[in-house]
Structure 1
Amino acid sequence: MATTELIRIVSRSSPMALAQVERVRAELAARHPGIRTEVVPVTTSGDRWMGDLSRLGGKGAFTKEVDAALLAGEADLAVHCLKDVPADRPLPAGTVFAAYLERDDIRDALIDPRGRTLDELPPGTRIGTSSVRRIAQLAATHPDLRCVPMRGNANRRLAKLDAGEADALLLAVSGLERIGETGRISEILSVETMCPPVGAGVLALQCRADDATTIDTVSALGHPATWREATAERMFLHVLQGHCNSPIAGYARAERDGRLSLRGRVFSPDGKQVLDVHEWAGPLSPEDLGASAALTLKRQGAQELIASIPH
């Protein structure tokens, strides 16, 4: 198998994105001790824009410049948080995912400076989040809390919390682990309390489709169970054709005995309507499991619910 001597890794320039690149560099060095890596940082339009993401075309705002650097040959490998890569449309032509790293924690965490749990927060507490998924679920379970818009990378949101722009924050556990801020967590929320986004906790390695050498080199970092989970989840989201304002959540779980299940949920933005599915793959492929779960939700009215949300 051919390996390359230098891999140029393009990444967003936030502290979390660079921490993710360091994990990839470490895993590459462990597998291929002779390899050299360089980081090519880019600032995406999603990083620069602090307004409503839908006005930038949704999640793709975090990946467009990264994709462009890869396709232009300025870099050989892109590291993405899979949850930020749109699943309602294919990857940019000429690129492929070569590997998904072993999945990190998929749960959300509450950060309350006073150390309270979600159930202990008094009515009117301002929760900093711009995630439609989190907003809808909080509206369903804790309607007396108030969500205030908060964008930016995790470090920036923590700084905004410290500056008093919100009383508490919801952030991904995996992101807090990557930037070394788990000490600020006051409660880790169960997946029943806060269903995670599709692709939560997964780092995806993207290459040019014609770059067989880099694909061969990095594919060894892939984790088979994570690949099955992520494949089911992305097909689930693809069949639902959700847009960036549709509160969709879901996660697949590969058991040690090989069984695969998927739990999916679609919410109205106010949390008053909740559609639920939980299916096991049995003999189905991960793709077919994702499609089957999405079709079950469509039979419950998911398509009409998603279409009714402005975007």
Structure 2
Amino acid sequence: MNPLTEVVLTRFSDAPLRIGTRTSTLARVQSSHVAELITKLVPDVAIEIVPTRVSADLWPADLAEIGGKGAFSREIDHALTSARIDIAVHCLKDVPGDVPLAEGTSFGAYLPRDDVHDVVVTRGDVPFADLPSGSLVGTSSVRRHAQLSIHRPDLRIERIRGNVDTRLSRLDEKDGEYAALILARAGLIRLGLLDRYHEVLPLEFRGAEEGIVSMVPPVGAGVIGLQARDSDTPVMRLLDELNHPLTARHVLAERTMLHMLLGHCNSPIAGHASTGSDGQMGLFGMVFNRDGSAFVRSHAWGDHSDPASLGARVAADLLHRGARDLIAATRK
């Protein structure tokens, strides 16, 4: 028996390892994947998945009214700090950058990053470019709203809340009002829905004059983060074995930028880190106003061993270019 197996089985000798998750289909799929990864490392450990209905999944309106993105994790955080669960599974893009994690907890692992592209899914498989002026497009993201407004200001863009499968069912309604949705490609992959018609949007920012709709991803796109109590040494050792170092470095650069910008849930902020063939890490960041009519952008390269400094440099440049005023305006 290897040391990790021994310490984990000893820790969970009389109770299962409990994985906390939201109740959506996507969240359950992600948590099942985490359970499979743990079982591969420690085959004999008993695992229980504990679904928790969170505030954001119950609220149909603006998330700012119930505390922003923190509403995605508030109840799960409480379950973790009160020791009702041992690991919390999060889509990292839904973890706010302007508030600290629950006291006494931290992310022990970031799983390898999935596809970070956004996609357009249309009713009746109509090409996005052929959607008539005035068509209704649904998205729950202010970041997507701002960027889409740059390229197709003739479309009506409205908030659509709910889980991925719920949104798709609304698009497919016979007399439904939505002509298209903007969704994360990673979510479609995890749900096995990639076979339905979709158009992948390029990550590189394109101006309206280029005539190509692009979509710079959010901070933490495609990443599943695993959070645990700092004091739970056996679980933290387990998570360290699951951690993907390259993804963790990219996440640190992106979230350092986000933290320094002090953006909130209604701030259209995009950021994406990547590592080139030469080993240098690049970070591209953007901040928009609500309708995309004003924005600032920055890009820098740095040593992959110091991602936090790279994130800080990009954030400082964005602030120098006027990001603070754009973010402040979205609070009004």
TM-score by length of 1: 0.97
Q: Which residue number corresponds to residue 189 of structure 2?
A: 177
- Alignment match of 2:262 (pick from 226, 231, 241): 241
Residues 1:257 and 1:30: Cα distance change in structure 2 (over 3 Å): farther
Of stretches 110-119 and 129-138 in structure 1, the one that deviates more from structure 2 is 110-119
Q: Does 2:260 match 1:221?
A: no
Q: Does 2:65 match 1:55?
A: yes
Of stretches 274-283 and 136-145 in structure 1, the one that deviates more from structure 2 is 274-283
Q: One-letter code of the match for 1:78?
A: A
Q: One-letter code of the match for 2:319?
A: K
- Alignment match of 1:274 (pick from 295, 298, 302): 295
How many matched pairs? 311
Q: Is the 8 A contact 2:97 2:264 kept in 1?
A: no
- Alignment match of 1:92 (pick from 86, 98, 102): 102
Q: Is the 8 A contact 2:300 2:314 kept in 1?
A: yes
1:310 offset after TM fit, Å? Answer: 2.4
Structure 2: give runs of 5+ residues left out of the alignment.
205-213
Calculate the aligned-residue CA RMSD, in Å: 1.4
Q: One-letter code of the match for 1:41?
A: P
Q: Does 2:8 match 1:3?
A: yes
Q: Is the 8 A contact 1:148 1:166 kept in 2?
A: no
CA–CA distance in 2 between the matches of 1:189 and 1:10?
A: 32
Residue aligned with 1:80, SS:
strand
Of stretches 52-61 and 157-166 in structure 1, the one that deviates more from structure 2 is 157-166
Deviation string 1:68-87 (CA, Å, 9 cap, x unpaired) is 00111101000000011111
Of stretches 13-22 and 139-148 in structure 1, the one that deviates more from structure 2 is 139-148
Q: Which residue number corresponds to residue 254 of structure 1?
A: 275
CA–CA distance in 1 between the matches of 2:67 and 2:28?
A: 24
Q: Does 2:32 match 1:18?
A: no
Q: Is the 8 A contact 1:116 1:186 kept in 2?
A: no
CA–CA distance in 1 between the matches of 2:61 and 2:49?
A: 28
Residue aligned with 1:184, SS:
coil
CA–CA distance in 1 between the matches of 2:292 and 2:113?
A: 28
CA–CA distance in 1 between the matches of 2:241 and 2:30?
A: 17
Q: Which residue number corresponds to residue 37 of structure 2?
A: 27
Deviation string 1:151-179 (CA, Å, 9 cap, x unpaired) is 01101111111121311111100011111
CA–CA distance in 2 between the matches of 1:281 and 1:185?
A: 38
Percentage of identical aligned residues: 45
CA–CA distance in 1 between the matches of 2:44 and 2:188?
A: 31
1:283 offset after TM fit, Å? Answer: 7.0
Deviation string 1:201-230 (CA, Å, 9 cap, x unpaired) is 000000011000011112211111100111
Q: One-letter code of the match for 1:27?
A: L
Residues 1:280 and 1:21: Cα distance change in structure 2 (over 3 Å): same
Q: Which residue number corresponds to residue 230 of structure 2?
A: 209
Q: One-letter code of the match for 2:159?
A: P
Residues 1:90 and 1:161: Cα distance change in structure 2 (over 3 Å): same
Q: Which residue number corresponds to residue 117 of structure 2?
A: 107
Deviation string 1:17-47 (CA, Å, 9 cap, x unpaired) is 0000011011111222122210111000100
Of stretches 281-290 and 105-114 in structure 1, the one that deviates more from structure 2 is 281-290
- Alignment match of 2:178 (pick from 166, 176, 182): 166
CA–CA distance in 1 between the matches of 2:295 and 2:128?
A: 20
CA–CA distance in 2 between the matches of 1:205 and 1:165?
A: 37
Q: Which 4+ stretches in 1 moved above 6 angstroms?
A: none
1:257 offset after TM fit, Å? Answer: 4.2
Q: Does 2:80 match 1:76?
A: no
Q: Does 2:154 match 1:133?
A: no
1:256 offset after TM fit, Å? Answer: 4.9
1:145 offset after TM fit, Å? Answer: 1.3
Residue aligned with 1:237, SS:
helix
